Structure 1
Amino acid sequence: MPTPQVVAVSRDQTHRFSKVPVDSITLVAGLGVLGDAHAGTLVQHRSRVRRNPNQPNLRQVHLLQAEIFDDARAMGYELHAGDLGENILTADLDLLGLPTGTLLDLGGPVVRLTGLRNPCVQINTFRAGLMKVVLSRADGTPSEQPAPSTASAKHSTTHVIRKAGVMAVVDRGGDVVPGQAITVTLPDTRTPLKPV
């Protein structure tokens, strides 16, 4: 079985959908990616800031599985590192199957998974119809309907599978570069990831 690894790293100082691939990123404990618009102890995503600017930032680092690019290609979309707004692109690691609280050692820096990225309509704005790559119904069929927000999801009877990556906070800082092996430490209690 291949060793999980970092494929690419990206950041962006402004609030845009995509991020810019770089040679390395620096993670700062409790803050996120140095020089990234989403770094901070309090929530930085604009929609969440509008709702409550005093929420803790559980979305400091966005990780995405590179295998989603294969799914995208099969549906006619060519994607590259940073296109979906991720900070860290991984390979050979089932990010979506990991439980909340999982620690990922990225060659020194450590992030703790907090939840799933909830795909939003910006994905279809980036590329028309792209939502169907990162969102599907429980039976596996692609869906172009945005996932319900966290508040309304508990009232929804439609189960959707979110494949747009996972969110994390930084437990131990340091530099992350492509090619670094990823070591996984599972928590004692296995709670499935939910949208954050």
Structure 2
Amino acid sequence: MDGVVTAVSSNGTYSFTKPNRERVTLLAGLGVEGDVHAGVTVRHRSRVAQDPTQPNLRQVHLIHEELFTELAGQGHQVRPGELGENITTRGIDLLALPTGTLLRFGDVDGGAVVEITGLRNPCRQIDDFQDGLLKRVVGRDPDSGEIVRKAGVMSVVREGGTVGPGDAVHVELPAHPHRPLERV
């Protein structure tokens, strides 16, 4: 179930999209160095407005590159970083991972490690970016009626290090029982 990093992105100012970088540095307990969303407490504007003392469970945003292929088939051209993610991966079904999964970047015995905290809860800014895109990344399961969020997962940095395109991503599942991802 291992994969690869295809792009890394960060932005020091509030903006929906994030420019791609050659490498990013993940700082333990904070997030992506120089990124506006890095910090111990929440940095997303809507969350800060609710309670600025909340822990930041959204330090690093990851999206699976396969989503972009799916969206292209529905008429939406999206490139890495354009949905505000920090790390774009290929080969891992991020949305199927349980809460608490560790993703180790690079060397299995070293490198940065993030812990998956939950699902990104997409907002209307996605439609501001591309009209109609929000309904492609949030919908309802036709059988269960449950809300399905496809816009990636959020995580916190457990071990710092640098991450860049081409780095391996090693998946370490938590002990059972697994808890499904919920929005954070």
Provide the C-alpha distance between the structure 2 equivalents of 1:113 and 1:70, rounded to a whole number of angstroms: 23
Structure 1 consecutive aligned stretches of length 4 or more whose deviation exceeds 2 Å: none
2:161 to 156, 160, 174: 174
Q: What's the counterpart of residue 48 of structure 1?
A: 47
SS in 2 for 1:182: strand
SS in 1 for 2:25: strand
Percent of aligned pairs with the same amino acid: 53
Aligned residues: 179
- How far is the alpha carbon of 1:137 from its aligned partner? 1.2
* Amino acid in the other structure paired with 2:180: P
Provide the C-alpha distance between the structure 2 equivalents of 1:121 and 1:31, rounded to a whole number of angstroms: 26
- How far is the alpha carbon of 1:163 from its aligned partner? 0.2
Q: What's the counterpart of residue 27 of structure 2?
A: 28
- How far is the alpha carbon of 1:158 from its aligned partner? 5.0
Q: Does 1:138 align with 2:134?
A: no
Once the two structures are superposed, residues 111-155 of structure 1 have per-residue CA deviations (whole angstroms, 9 ceiling, x without a partner) of 000000001111001110011221121128xxxxxxxxxxxxxxx
Provide the C-alpha distance between the structure 2 equivalents of 1:68 and 1:133, rounded to a whole number of angstroms: 10
Contact persistence 1:27–1:174 (CA under 8 A) = yes
Give the RMSD, CA atoms, in angstroms: 1.4
Provide the C-alpha distance between the structure 1 equivalents of 2:126 and 2:33, rounded to a whole number of angstroms: 24
Instruction: Give the TM-score taking structure 2 as reference length.
Output: 0.94
Provide the C-alpha distance between the structure 1 equivalents of 2:132 and 2:145, rounded to a whole number of angstroms: 20
Matches within 5 A, 1:62-141: 62-107=61-106, 108-139=111-142
Provide the C-alpha distance between the structure 1 equivalents of 2:172 and 2:146, rounded to a whole number of angstroms: 28
Provide the C-alpha distance between the structure 1 equivalents of 2:164 and 2:37, rounded to a whole number of angstroms: 19
2:152 to 162, 165, 183: 165
Q: What's the counterpart of residue 8 of structure 1?
A: 7
Contact persistence 1:71–1:133 (CA under 8 A) = no
Contact persistence 1:66–1:90 (CA under 8 A) = yes
Q: Which runs of 5+ in 2 are unaligned?
A: none
* Amino acid in the other structure paired with 1:49: V
Q: What's the counterpart of residue 59 of structure 1?
A: 58
* Amino acid in the other structure paired with 2:182: K
Instruction: Give the TM-score taking structure 1 as reference length.
Output: 0.89
